[in-house]
Amino acid sequence: MKKSIVVLSFLMTTFLNAEDKTANGTGAAPAPPPPVAKTVHTENHINGGKLVDDYRWLRDKANPEVAQYLEGENAYADGVMKPTAALQQKLYDEMISHIKETDVNVPYKEGAYFYYSRWEKGQQYPILGRKKGSTDAAEEITIDVNALAKGQPFMSLGGYELSDDGNLLAYSTDNTGFRQYKLRVRDLRTGHDSEVIADKVGSVAWANDNKTLFYTVEEDKTKRQYRLYRHIAGAETGKDDLVFEEKDERFNIGVGKSRSGKYIILQIGSHTTSEARFLDAADPKGEWKLIAPRQQDVEYYADHHDNEFLIRTNDKGRTFRLVSAPVAAPGKENWKEILPVRPDVMLNDLEVFQDFYVLVERENGLPQLTVVNFAGGGKTRITYPEPVYTASPQINREYKTRMFRYGYQSLVTPASVFDYDVEKHTSTLLKQTEVPGGYDASRYQSERVWATAKDGVKVPVSIVYRKDLKKADGSNPLYVYAYGSYGAILPVTFSPSRLSLLDRGVVMAFAHIRGGGDLGKPWHDAGRMMNKMNTFTDFIACTEYLVANKYGARDKIAIEGGSAGGLLMGAVTNLRPDLFKVVVSHVPFVDVMNTMLDASLPLTVPEYEEWGNPNEKAAYDYMLQYSPYDNLKKGAYPALLVKTSFNDSQVMYWEPAKYVAKLRTLKTDKNVLLLKTNMAAGHGGASGRYEHFKEIAFDYAFMLTQLGVEK
C-alpha cells in the first residue's frame, strides 16, 4: 500500500540541579520553593489491593486550579533554569548553525508531477509543492503549513493524499496537539478549500474516479479509528455514507490504496490480531470483500500484484512469512507460501511494485532491504558501508518503475536518500542532508556492543562518541536512551542537535532492549505483558555494562525516554535510584494502574494486549510491581526533569503532574525536580521547528549543568 513516511522521534533532554547554581558561578539567589499540590485522598479497592491516589483531582482539566498548578510548576522550572539562559542561547545557536535553514527535500514522482517539501529560513513549518513533468518546471504550492499555522499556537499536517488526476488534495490538520484532525479537500486548479468534511479523521484514500474519497474517523471515548465513510467531492458535508464500523474496542482501522492503484484496502487490527477487506478502486460503491477472517493472535497484511495479493503473516511463526493468494479467492485455504518463517529474520514489511518487491527485514538487530524480481525470483540485498545504521523505504509512489528509493543514515552519517536500480543492482545517492557549521563525520566513532541481561540474554547497544575522547579512563559523562515497548524499533539515526552533547564529551548510547522490535516480534514478546520487567532490567544491565567497559563514569550518567519510554524511566529510577545522576522523562506513562483500570480513557482497552488487563488479578499483581507512580517511596532520587503537554492525547498531562506532585513529598535528597508543561501542544511537544530547538536547548542546558560539563 502507499505509505506516508512518519518519523517519530523523542527529544533528548537535560537537567539542572538547583543546589549547584552558586557552585557553577552564577551567583544567583536560591530559587523559591516549588509549588505544593493539594491532596484529596482517594482509594481504589480491587483484586484485594488498595490503590491510594491523593492527586486524582488533577484529572479535571476544566478546573482552573489545575492550570494554575501547572503554570506554577512552569514558573518554578523557569526560575530554576534562569541562570542557564546564556547556555540555552548558546546551545540553540549551535543547533541552528548545524541545519540548512533554507532547504528542499528530494522530489518524488506521482502521476504527472514531482512532489516535494521545502523549508525557508525563519519559517517554522514546511512548504509542500510540486512541478509538472519536470523538476525544472514552475513551482505550484500545494500546502504552505506556515499559512495554515497563522494565529494558531500549534499546527500539524496529517493526511496528504492526491486524486489520481492530481486535481484534488485531501488534507487534514490539527491545531491543538490532541491529534484530532479536520479533513478538507483543496482543488489545486483553483486553490479553493472545501468546508470541513469531517473531524477526528485518521486515514484517507481516493477512488479511481477522482471524486470519491474514503476516510476513517475516531470514536469519542476510546480515540480509536473505528468508522469508514465515503464522501463525494463537492457534496454537502455531514451526509457521507457509513461504509464500515468496527465494534470491538481492541481494534483500529485504516484505509489506503495499493501502489498498483487497483484496490483500496481497509486494514483492521489490534495489537495482536488483524484482518483486511478490499474494494475495486474503480467501483467506489461496490462490495468490500474480506481476504480472511480475523483469528486471535494472527496478523496479516496484504498488498496487490497482478491477479493476486502478497500477504505478510505470522500464522506459522512470530517472525512472519510471505504468501500469495488469488484476488478471486483470497481465503486462507488458498494461501501459497513464497517465503517461509525464518526464526532469525523478522519480515517487518513489504513493498510491492510491478516487476519486483522489496522485503523489509531485520536480522541480528539490523535492518535489511532485499529486492526480489517477480521474473525468475532473483534476490539482491542492498549493502551498506557501516556496521551500525538505519535503512528504510522512502516515498515510492510509482508502481511501474525499475527504481526503489530508500533512506540511509547512522549515528555519524547524516540522512541520505538513494535510488536503487533493480536492473543494474546499483545505488545512486540523490541527497545527503547538509550539516553546516563545520561537521566532519571522521571525528566521530559509532559502534555496537552486546550487554548481558539479568537472565543471560544478549542485548544490543549502539554507541557514538568523539574519537578524541579519553575513553579508556572511564571518566566521560554518559547518556543512555531507550524505549522498549509496542515492538517499536529504536532507529539508529543522525541528529545535528546531538552534536552539542558529543562535542562536549558526552558518550551517547542507545539500548535496544526487550519490548521493542529490534530483534523481531519475539523480542517484543519477551518484554510485554507478563514479561515486562525484562524491559527495565535490560536497561539497567546495559547501563552497567557501559560503565564497566569504561564508556562513561558511574557518577555522570544521564538517561532519557519518552511516552512508554517515560514508563521505563520511572520504573528504572524506582529500581535503581543510585545508578543515575539525571533522569529525563518526556510525556511519561507513569500512572499505569489508574490508567489501565479506567476503560473510559483513550487507548486503555486496546492496550490490554500490551500491558495486561489489571481487572484480572494476575495482571494486576504483576503490573503493580513496576507502575512508577505506585512504587514511589521515601528516599533519595536523581535529579529529574519531567515534561508534558496539556493537550496530550496519548499520555494525559495528569500522569506526569501527579507523579511529580507525589514525588515531591517523598524525596529526601536536595536534587532538583522540575515539571515543565507545554500548555499549547500535544504528545510531541512544540510543532514549529525553531520552538522545537528551543525546547531541546532548555533540556540540554539542564542536563549538561547537572552532569558538571563545562559550558
* Closest C-alpha to 253, from 207, 304, 288: 288
Percent of the chain with pLDDT strictly greater than 70: 95
Question: Could you identify the residue written with the cell 517523598?
Answer: 666
Residues 199 and 323: their CA atoms lie apart, in Å, by 37
Residues 39 and 53: their CA atoms lie apart, in Å, by 9
Give the right CATH number for 440-525+544-554 from 3.40.50.1820, 3.40.47.10, 3.40.920.10, 3.40.630.10.
3.40.50.1820
Which residues participate in catalysis according to the annotation? 563, 648, 683
pLDDT tens column, 509-548: 999 999 999 999 999 999 999 999 999 999 999 999 999 9
For the domain 152-290, what is the CATH superfamily, name and number? Prolyl oligopeptidase, N-terminal domain (2.130.10.120)
Q: Where does residue 490 rank: exposed (0-12), middle (13-18), buried (19+ CB within 10 A)?
A: buried
Residues 427-443 have a mean pLDDT of: 97
What's the pLDDT band for 315 if we cut at 50, 70, 90? very high
Residues 388 and 280: their CA atoms lie apart, in Å, by 42
User: Do 297 and 316 form a contact (C-beta atoms < 8 A)?
Assistant: no
pLDDT value of position 24 = 36
The CA-atom distances, in angstroms, between 320 and each of 252, 296, 315 are 21, 15, 7
151: Cβ contacts below 8 Å, ≥ 6 apart: none
Single-letter amino acid code for the residue at 501 = L
C-alpha cell, 97: 548553525
Each domain of the chain, given as residue ranges in start order, spans 101-146, 152-290, 440-525+544-554
User: Do 655 and 590 form a contact (C-beta atoms < 8 A)?
Assistant: yes
pLDDT value of position 29 = 54
User: E strands within 329-374?
Assistant: 336-339, 345-352, 356-363, 366-373
Residues 34 and 80: their CA atoms lie apart, in Å, by 10
DSSP state of 394: -
What's the pLDDT band for 223 if we cut at 50, 70, 90? very high
pLDDT value of position 62 = 96
Percentage helix, strand, coil for the chain under 3-state DSSP, each rounded to 5: 20, 35, 45
pLDDT value of position 472 = 72
What's the pLDDT band for 30 if we cut at 50, 70, 90? low
Mean pLDDT of the chain: 94
pLDDT tens column, 336-375: 999 999 999 999 999 999 999 999 999 999 999 999 999 9
